[in-house]
A and B are shown apart, each in its own frame.
Chain A
Amino acid sequence: MEKAIKRFWPVFVLPTFAAFLIGFVWPFLQGLYLSFCKFTTIDKAQWNGLKNYLYALTEAEFLHSFWFTALFTVVSTICINVAAFAIALALTRSIKGTNVFRSVFFMPNLIGGIVLGYIWNILLNCALTLLGKPLLSLHAPYGFIGLVILMCWQQIGYMMIIYIAGLQSIPNDYLEAARIDGANDRQILWRIKIPNVMPSITICLFLSLTNGFKLFDQNLALTAGEPNHLTEMLALHIYNTFYARSGAVWKGYGQAEAVLFCILVIAISLVQLRATRSKEVQQ
């Protein structure tokens, strides 16, 4: 059977592979090469060695955007997961209307980043005006808090779904046995529920970590990096280095920053792979 299928590779593999070459492999390799070059268009690339990387690693704005992104990611990861887990716990008790609540909390997840960003931009700016405080784009801490609120609103529902699936897969026997042995609610939560949903927790933590690091649309729509690039996250910073500056050197810097960004995201994913694998062994 394998031989019969093998002969049909032009039918089965070629369409996807050709599109994959155009849409991923070729641009990726070219991008890797260009990160060592000085260029404005692809044809006019001059070899530049490691200069782009050296510049990127010392540029204050890039480093600021890195720390801003890291801080944002940590804060939003904690907020999202604590809230999502709490809601999932509440929704797995037999309360009336669980399905309605679940649908409502999940809904923002389907709306795109640009639209979400504008919705919250309008809402938060109105609230700030009424409170007599500076607008989002004028005061960086508000921009930061706004981004965290926006991400919570969008992601809590998603993580909640994963936690609910995890909580529902705990065999009821465990809970009953614990109750018969006289465990109280807190003990059941810490000794039975949390250890048993560890796989879900790992998945959610890494999902929110990578989502936080890769965030672009929401950042662009909510604050656009204002004031003065202070709320600019990595992805947006790279975008602005590419497209918002004129001069022969910037595209090279942007590409080098993009490669560093890529390495960072890949590293996080590798750690995730490790973590999920070792969890699987334990079970």
Chain B
Amino acid sequence: MSAPLIELAGVSRRYDLGDAEPVIALRDVDLAIDDGEFVSIVGPSGSGKSTMLHLLGALDKPSQGTVSVAGRDVSQMGDAELAELRNATIGFVFQQFHLLARTPAIANVELPLVYAGVGRAERRRRAGEALSQVGLGHRLEHKPNQLSGGEQQRVAIARALVTSPRLLLADEPTGNLDSHRGEEVMALLADLNAKQGVAVVVITHDLEVAALAPRQIGIRDGVVSEPAVLR
């Protein structure tokens, strides 16, 4: 059996705050997520969700334990390797969308391919395809301020998909959307998971949103529990 897509083994993350008592955001977490899974990680604010996101996305390194992505220990990787990992293996979707302002949708979606060193014509083709997949094939040249919140989040999802990653990591993807748009976004993620086999991890505080995923992991005070105790 091949290694899990992401594996956390005995992971703790502590933030030292100078003279004050250090904050322990994650305590001794063991967790494995396989290719093609659809997982929600649910917890209230301050539970360690964001820290979990940063570790899963190789944006941060653990204080203790090991985080392995695609079988490789993140702590052992240098700047260029980490950048390559985030670029090719992981697609991020953020609560605030994080689109570049005054930049057309297609250019936003092309951005990861720029860092992957893909040529201009090929970038445009793949970015156009990704936008079509999220139903925005007709909005290529629109700028973020010309798009609704739901559309902006779909541009962000297209951007996350464009490098064909193995994992979509979504941080409160519905947080800035009304419930209808939120459901649409979750449906889109489920669809991408089902049709393309990309693993999806949704991090949320919203129990209803979390319930849409087949596998739910709870997090509270830096400790994970599975199955999540919802309510």
A and B form one complex: no
Contacts from A to B (Cβ < 8 Å): none
